[in-house]
Amino acid sequence: MLGIIALVIGIGLRYWINRRKFYRRSVAGLEGFSSYEKSVFVRFLERIGKWVAYLLIIIGLLCLWTSTRVEKDEKKVQQQQEIARHPTPNVKI
């Protein structure tokens, strides 16, 4: 569950940052800011936001991968315990 949440938040954050950047562009393709300071600050925050988004995506994927591995291992252990409870009779030929 945690993996899905981290993955969705990471993808959503990346989408939101890219969308803001897209709508900030003019017809000529240049980003428009009211001041130099605002330009530097916004770009810095967006860069940090993208790194956080990448980190959340990676963490989400790792959590999903780990949870599937744990589920497979639990099923395998459960099957082995079931076999140990009901041993097959020894058949001599």
Give the pLDDT confidence of 8-47 residue by residue, as tens digits.
999 999 999 999 999 888 888 888 888 999 999 999 999 9
How many structural domains compose the chain? 1
Residue 85, helix vs strand vs coil: helix
Handedness of CA 44, 45, 46, 50 (dihedral sign): positive
Residue 28 DSSP code: T
Q: What angle do CA 19, 20, 25 make, to 5 degrees?
A: 100
Q: In sequence order, which ranges of 1-93 are alpha helices (DSSP H)?
A: 2-23, 36-85
Give 26 or 87, the one with higher predicted confidence: 26
What does the pLDDT look like over 55-70, one tens digit per residue?
A: 999 999 999 999 989 8
Residue 76: inside a domain, yes or no? Answer: yes
72 neighbors 22 (Cβ within 8 angstroms): no
Q: For residue 44, what pLDDT is reported? A: 96
pTM of this structure:
0.73
What residue numbers bound the domain in which 64 lies? 2-85
